Structure 1
Amino acid sequence: MDVLASRGYENTRFADVSAAGGVAISTLQTYFGSREDMIIEAMRVFTDREVAALQAVSVAETDPWRRLVALTDRSLHNSASERRILVEFWRSAMRDDELRDHSAEVLARYRAPFLAAVREGAERGAFTLTHDADAVTDFLLAALAGLIVSRVQHHATPSPANFRDVLLTQLRLMLGVQDPAPRTRTD
């Protein structure tokens, strides 16, 4: 995954992965068959880990608003390497049918904890939705993806902290949340 993050889909070779992982090229070829299969498997493992991390955040927080803030913070604070892999995954999925199919499944799983928190907050009466739960979730995920692309491109703005403040303010408005002070990230 580190090689994929630094070299990209098109430029990752068996030799690079062999050197980084200390595994013989022949072993990689035997196990994966092709370079593309190796990269696709790396992307599958990476995206599965991302989804599992969001699910763990979701399970750890019972309050729907604090859960959304924690999920947002988890997404905002991916490492530079993780952001590059996500962009490579999205970009590669545009051209590869297998990755495109996987990306649709990943999106559904990635989206699920966000959508569940929005729906749960509405059901509990903690949220008064101004838009339907799916639209709110789509807005939030689109905003987070946009920031990832901006950061991968090394754009100076928006800063993650300012972006977070604006995003959470907008989310509070869409959810009808009265709490003026979202939980801050502590790590």
Structure 2
Amino acid sequence: MLAAVAGVLAARGYENTRFTDVSAASGVAISTLQNYFGSREDMVVEAMEVFTDREVEALTAVASAEPDPWRRLVALMDRSLHNSESTRQVLVEFWRSAMRDDDLRDYSAEVQTRYRAPFLAAVREGGERGEFTLAHDAETVTDFLLSALAGLIVSRVQHHPTPSPAAFRDILLTQLRLMLGVTERTSRIRTDRGT
């Protein structure tokens, strides 16, 4: 049911996601949806919370699979760059809704902390190992990267002219190398060797 709610949310937006739409998308009776969720708002909020939790879990899984800090950052960035259109739409709806709802705003801050954690851990770990020579503190580097990724999501959802994911990736990698003191040659050698 929650996947159906997220699909409708992506297509119709927070304000226009109704029990009837979710019923049509899921095949679950309206009365069952009302019984389970209570209100339309509760249904939409629960779907957004479950959806964003799954996104954080996916990033955590990506981070856990890669021991090298540079390759981990690249893998985390790639995961974010290649989200589906519906994932991007749900994320924008979540951010937009959180601006107006105190409970969602608090939840959004908690989600942001968890979403940011694997990026920040990779930057810190690379610095501690001496693999990165940070031009800025780890928090600033992480915030820059996440702001760039979020900005691209918003632009892509609004169908503004944006660079391709590959071109945007190249730009971000160039900036990350500068901020982390990693040469392109070193990062390529480490990636090619799997070290």
Q: Same fold (TM over 0.5)?
A: yes
25-34 vs 67-76, which moves further: 25-34
Match of 1:119 in 2: 124
> 2:120 touches 2:139 (CA, 8 Å); kept in 1?
yes
Number of equivalenced pairs:
184
RMSD: 1.2
2:42 pairs, out of 24, 34, 37, with 37
Q: By how many angstroms is 1:156 displaced?
A: 2.5
Answering whether residue 137 of structure 2 is matched by residue 129 of structure 1, we say no
CA distance, structure 2, for counterparts of residue 113 and residue 70 of structure 1: 11
One-letter amino acid of the counterpart of residue 52, structure 1 = E
Match of 2:3 in 1: none
CA distance, structure 1, for counterparts of residue 170 and residue 155 of structure 2: 17
Mapping for residues 19-168 of structure 1, pairs under 5 Å: 19-168=24-173
Match of 1:9 in 2: 14
Please state whether the residue corresponding to 1:10 is helix, strand or coil.
coil
CA distance, structure 2, for counterparts of residue 157 and residue 8 of structure 1: 22
One-letter amino acid of the counterpart of residue 145, structure 1 = A
Q: By how many angstroms is 1:98 displaced?
A: 1.2
Q: By how many angstroms is 1:155 displaced?
A: 1.8
One-letter amino acid of the counterpart of residue 75, structure 1 = S
TM-score by length of 2: 0.92
> 2:152 touches 2:162 (CA, 8 Å); kept in 1?
no
CA distances 1:75-133 after superposition (whole Å, capped 9, x unpaired)? 00000000000000000000011111110000000000000000000000000000000
CA distance, structure 2, for counterparts of residue 135 and residue 90 of structure 1: 21
Calculate percent identity across the aligned residue pairs: 79
CA distance, structure 2, for counterparts of residue 154 and residue 140 of structure 1: 21
CA distances 1:22-54 after superposition (whole Å, capped 9, x unpaired)? 111111111111000000000001000000000
Match of 2:174 in 1: 169
Q: By how many angstroms is 1:15 displaced?
A: 0.5
TM-score by length of 1: 0.96
Unaligned runs of at least 5 residues, structure 2: 1-5
Q: By how many angstroms is 1:179 displaced?
A: 3.4
